[in-house]
């Protein structure tokens, strides 16, 4: 995975995260939010031919990237709770 897909996913995740903070949505919707981000990132990458991958590879890469980002964020929250 080149840095381009990572930047697209990061930008979409940042925007969605800020929207979530402003609207105070329930945390149980975060996995759904990550799937939506993955779909948007996949569409952007496919339309602009960001990577030399098939459509299926692009979609799977974006889904894994967004879900792992959500898992990393959860790990940080758990660690902060354990320290307190």
- Do residues 62 and 5 lie in contact, with contact meaning Cβ atoms separated by under 8 Å? yes
Reported as a single tens digit per residue, the pLDDT across 29-57 is 777 888 888 888 889 888 888 778 888 98
**What is the three-state SS of the chain?**
CCHHHHHHHHHHHHHHHHHHHHHCCCHHHHHHHHHHHHHHHHHHHHHCCCCCCCHHHHHHHHHHHHHHHHHHHHHHHHHHHHHC
Percent of the chain residues topping a pLDDT of 90: 0
Confirm whether pTM is higher than 0.75: no
């Amino acid at each position: 995975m080149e840095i381009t897909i990572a930047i697209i996913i990061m930008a979409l995740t940042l925007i969605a995260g800020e929207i979530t903070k402003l609207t105070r949505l329930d945390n149980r919707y975060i996995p759904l939010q990550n799937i939506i981000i993955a779909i948007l990132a996949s569409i952007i990458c496919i339309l602009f031919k960001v990577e030399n991958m098939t459509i299926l590879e692009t979609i799977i890469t974006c889904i894994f990237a967004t879900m792992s980002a959500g898992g990393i964020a959860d790990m940080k929250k758990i660690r902060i709770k354990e320290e307190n």
